[in-house]
Amino acid sequence: MAAVKDPLRLLVELLQKVPGMGEKSATRMAYHFMKAPAQEVLGLAEALRRLKAEMRECEECCDVSFRSPCETCANPKRDPAVICVVADSSHIKPLERSGAYAGVYHVLHGTLSPMENVGPEQLRIAPLLRRIEGRPVCEVILAINPTMEGETTMLYLMDLLKDRGLRVTKLPVGLALGSDIEYTDHETLGKALRDRVQVSSRAT
Ligand SMILES: [Zn+2]
Protein backbone atom coordinates (compact mmCIF):
# COMPACT_ATOMS: atom_id res chain seq x y z
CA MET A 1 0.00 0.00 0.00
CA ALA A 2 1.29 3.45 -0.91
CA ALA A 3 2.20 5.59 2.06
CA VAL A 4 -0.24 8.42 2.77
CA LYS A 5 1.49 11.71 2.22
CA ASP A 6 1.48 14.50 4.79
CA PRO A 7 -1.15 16.92 3.33
CA LEU A 8 1.06 19.95 3.91
CA ARG A 9 3.91 18.40 1.95
CA LEU A 10 1.48 17.26 -0.75
CA LEU A 11 0.09 20.80 -1.11
CA VAL A 12 3.59 22.31 -1.35
CA GLU A 13 4.42 19.78 -4.08
CA LEU A 14 1.25 20.55 -6.02
CA LEU A 15 1.62 24.32 -5.70
CA GLN A 16 5.12 24.09 -7.14
CA LYS A 17 3.58 22.97 -10.42
CA VAL A 18 2.17 26.49 -10.85
CA PRO A 19 4.42 28.37 -13.32
CA GLY A 20 6.76 30.73 -11.48
CA MET A 21 6.07 29.18 -8.07
CA GLY A 22 9.20 28.13 -6.21
CA GLU A 23 9.42 25.98 -3.10
CA LYS A 24 9.64 29.00 -0.77
CA SER A 25 6.49 30.68 -2.08
CA ALA A 26 4.65 27.35 -2.20
CA THR A 27 5.54 26.66 1.42
CA ARG A 28 4.49 30.15 2.50
CA MET A 29 1.18 29.73 0.69
CA ALA A 30 0.57 26.28 2.17
CA TYR A 31 1.10 27.67 5.69
CA HIS A 32 -1.25 30.53 4.89
CA PHE A 33 -3.99 28.06 3.95
CA MET A 34 -3.34 26.03 7.08
CA LYS A 35 -3.99 29.09 9.24
CA ALA A 36 -6.81 30.60 7.15
CA PRO A 37 -10.47 30.06 8.13
CA ALA A 38 -11.83 26.70 6.94
CA GLN A 39 -14.57 28.43 4.95
CA GLU A 40 -12.05 30.40 2.90
CA VAL A 41 -9.92 27.34 2.12
CA LEU A 42 -12.93 25.17 1.25
CA GLY A 43 -14.22 28.02 -0.93
CA LEU A 44 -10.95 27.93 -2.83
CA ALA A 45 -11.13 24.14 -3.19
CA GLU A 46 -14.69 24.47 -4.52
CA ALA A 47 -13.64 27.21 -6.98
CA LEU A 48 -10.88 24.90 -8.28
CA ARG A 49 -13.35 22.00 -8.58
CA ARG A 50 -15.82 24.20 -10.50
CA LEU A 51 -13.01 25.52 -12.71
CA LYS A 52 -12.33 22.00 -13.94
CA ALA A 53 -15.99 20.95 -14.08
CA GLU A 54 -17.61 24.00 -15.64
CA MET A 55 -15.09 25.86 -17.78
CA ARG A 56 -15.15 24.80 -21.40
CA GLU A 57 -14.01 26.00 -24.77
CA CYS A 58 -16.33 28.38 -26.57
CA GLU A 59 -17.61 26.58 -29.67
CA GLU A 60 -16.95 29.72 -31.72
CA CYS A 61 -13.63 31.22 -30.62
CA CYS A 62 -12.11 28.34 -28.57
CA ASP A 63 -11.46 30.70 -25.63
CA VAL A 64 -12.06 29.10 -22.25
CA SER A 65 -15.37 30.26 -20.91
CA PHE A 66 -18.13 29.55 -18.44
CA ARG A 67 -20.60 29.66 -21.32
CA SER A 68 -20.54 28.65 -24.95
CA PRO A 69 -20.79 30.84 -26.97
CA CYS A 70 -18.71 33.01 -24.65
CA GLU A 71 -19.65 36.55 -23.62
CA THR A 72 -17.63 38.15 -26.43
CA CYS A 73 -18.99 35.89 -29.18
CA ALA A 74 -22.56 36.36 -27.90
CA ASN A 75 -22.22 40.16 -27.70
CA PRO A 76 -24.23 41.71 -30.58
CA LYS A 77 -22.02 44.83 -30.40
CA ARG A 78 -18.96 42.84 -31.51
CA ASP A 79 -18.27 42.59 -35.22
CA PRO A 80 -18.08 38.87 -36.17
CA ALA A 81 -16.59 39.77 -39.57
CA VAL A 82 -13.25 40.72 -37.96
CA ILE A 83 -11.39 37.94 -36.15
CA CYS A 84 -8.29 38.60 -34.06
CA VAL A 85 -6.23 35.43 -33.74
CA VAL A 86 -4.25 35.04 -30.50
CA ALA A 87 -2.03 32.22 -29.29
CA ASP A 88 -3.37 32.17 -25.77
CA SER A 89 -6.50 33.16 -23.81
CA SER A 90 -4.34 35.37 -21.58
CA HIS A 91 -3.64 37.68 -24.55
CA ILE A 92 -7.30 38.69 -24.92
CA LYS A 93 -7.47 40.81 -21.77
CA PRO A 94 -4.58 43.14 -22.68
CA LEU A 95 -6.01 43.61 -26.19
CA GLU A 96 -9.44 44.36 -24.70
CA ARG A 97 -7.94 46.88 -22.29
CA SER A 98 -6.63 48.83 -25.28
CA GLY A 99 -10.26 49.63 -26.13
CA ALA A 100 -9.19 49.70 -29.79
CA TYR A 101 -10.90 46.52 -30.92
CA ALA A 102 -14.55 45.66 -31.50
CA GLY A 103 -14.28 42.41 -33.43
CA VAL A 104 -14.17 38.86 -32.09
CA TYR A 105 -11.24 36.61 -31.18
CA HIS A 106 -9.92 33.16 -31.97
CA VAL A 107 -7.64 31.35 -29.52
CA LEU A 108 -5.14 28.89 -31.00
CA HIS A 109 -4.02 27.48 -27.63
CA GLY A 110 -0.33 27.62 -28.51
CA THR A 111 2.04 28.23 -31.38
CA LEU A 112 3.63 25.84 -33.86
CA SER A 113 6.76 24.32 -32.39
CA PRO A 114 8.43 21.40 -34.14
CA MET A 115 10.86 21.17 -31.17
CA GLU A 116 7.97 20.49 -28.81
CA ASN A 117 5.97 18.42 -31.28
CA VAL A 118 3.25 21.04 -31.64
CA GLY A 119 1.87 20.79 -35.16
CA PRO A 120 -1.19 22.43 -36.76
CA GLU A 121 -3.44 19.62 -35.53
CA GLN A 122 -2.56 20.42 -31.90
CA LEU A 123 -3.74 24.02 -32.36
CA ARG A 124 -7.31 25.27 -32.96
CA ILE A 125 -6.60 25.98 -36.61
CA ALA A 126 -9.32 23.74 -38.08
CA PRO A 127 -12.06 25.51 -36.04
CA LEU A 128 -10.70 28.86 -37.32
CA LEU A 129 -11.04 27.69 -40.92
CA ARG A 130 -14.57 26.40 -40.23
CA ARG A 131 -15.50 29.82 -38.83
CA ILE A 132 -14.15 31.56 -41.90
CA GLU A 133 -15.92 29.19 -44.25
CA GLY A 134 -19.19 29.35 -42.32
CA ARG A 135 -19.77 33.09 -42.42
CA PRO A 136 -18.63 36.25 -44.15
CA VAL A 137 -15.35 37.27 -42.55
CA CYS A 138 -13.61 40.31 -44.03
CA GLU A 139 -10.46 40.48 -41.91
CA VAL A 140 -8.24 38.21 -39.82
CA ILE A 141 -5.75 39.98 -37.55
CA LEU A 142 -2.79 37.88 -36.46
CA ALA A 143 -1.95 39.13 -32.94
CA ILE A 144 0.66 36.57 -32.07
CA ASN A 145 3.88 37.28 -30.17
CA PRO A 146 6.71 37.73 -32.69
CA THR A 147 8.87 34.95 -31.27
CA MET A 148 10.33 32.35 -33.62
CA GLU A 149 7.36 30.02 -33.00
CA GLY A 150 4.95 32.95 -33.29
CA GLU A 151 6.40 34.04 -36.63
CA THR A 152 6.29 30.45 -37.92
CA THR A 153 2.64 30.21 -36.87
CA MET A 154 1.77 33.50 -38.56
CA LEU A 155 3.49 32.45 -41.79
CA TYR A 156 1.60 29.15 -41.72
CA LEU A 157 -1.72 30.95 -41.18
CA MET A 158 -0.97 33.56 -43.86
CA ASP A 159 -0.48 30.74 -46.32
CA LEU A 160 -3.69 29.01 -45.27
CA LEU A 161 -5.73 32.22 -45.35
CA LYS A 162 -4.53 33.62 -48.66
CA ASP A 163 -6.90 33.50 -51.64
CA ARG A 164 -9.94 33.30 -49.39
CA GLY A 165 -11.26 36.76 -50.18
CA LEU A 166 -10.31 38.27 -46.85
CA ARG A 167 -7.77 40.77 -45.59
CA VAL A 168 -5.03 39.34 -43.38
CA THR A 169 -3.22 41.79 -41.12
CA LYS A 170 -0.73 41.60 -38.29
CA LEU A 171 0.48 43.91 -35.55
CA PRO A 172 3.36 46.14 -36.67
CA VAL A 173 6.91 45.29 -35.66
CA GLY A 174 6.65 48.41 -33.43
CA LEU A 175 5.85 45.80 -30.87
CA ALA A 176 9.56 45.04 -30.50
CA LEU A 177 10.67 41.67 -31.75
CA GLY A 178 10.13 39.10 -29.05
CA SER A 179 7.85 41.37 -27.02
CA ASP A 180 4.95 39.78 -25.22
CA ILE A 181 1.35 40.92 -25.77
CA GLU A 182 0.51 39.88 -22.23
CA TYR A 183 2.94 42.44 -20.77
CA THR A 184 2.49 45.27 -23.25
CA ASP A 185 0.64 48.34 -21.99
CA HIS A 186 -2.80 49.13 -23.40
CA GLU A 187 -1.75 52.31 -25.18
CA THR A 188 0.98 50.51 -27.16
CA LEU A 189 -1.41 47.67 -27.97
CA GLY A 190 -4.13 50.10 -29.03
CA LYS A 191 -1.68 51.83 -31.35
CA ALA A 192 -0.47 48.46 -32.66
CA LEU A 193 -4.06 47.43 -33.42
CA ARG A 194 -4.83 50.70 -35.19
CA ASP A 195 -1.55 50.56 -37.17
CA ARG A 196 -1.89 46.90 -38.12
CA VAL A 197 -0.27 46.07 -41.41
CA GLN A 198 -1.80 44.16 -44.25
CA VAL A 199 0.05 40.98 -45.13
CA SER A 200 -2.30 39.64 -47.77
CA SER A 201 -5.04 41.14 -49.85
CA ARG A 202 -8.70 40.30 -50.38
CA ALA A 203 -8.05 39.12 -53.93
CA THR A 204 -9.58 35.72 -54.63
ZN1 LIG B 1 -16.24 32.79 -27.95
Report which DSSP code applies to 113. B
> What's the chain's Rg over C-alpha atoms?
20
More confident residue, 203 or 160: 160
Domains of the chain, residue spans? 7-54, 57-200
Q: What is the pLDDT of residues 104-127, one digit of tens each?
A: 999 999 999 988 899 999 999 999
Q: What are phi and psi of 191, to 5 degrees?
A: -65, -40
pLDDT of residue 187: 86
Residue 20 has pLDDT above 80, yes or no: yes
pLDDT of residue 201: 61
Ion ligand 1, residue ranges at CB < 5 A: 58, 60-61, 70, 73
Fold of 7-54: Helicase, Ruva Protein; domain 3 (1.10.8)
Residue 202 has pLDDT above 60, yes or no: no
CA of 29 to the centre of ligand 1 (A): 34
CA of 38 to the centre of ligand 1 (A): 36
H or E segment and range at residue 80: strand 79-86
CA of 129 to the centre of ligand 1 (A): 15
pLDDT of residue 134: 82
Residue 178 has pLDDT above 60, yes or no: no
Question: Average per-residue pLDDT in the chain?
Answer: 91
- Average pLDDT in the 144-169 region? 92
Residue 110 CA to residue 116 CA, distance in Å, equals 11
CATH of 57-200, one of 3.40.1360.10, 3.10.450.50, 3.40.1280.10, 3.40.50.300: 3.40.1360.10
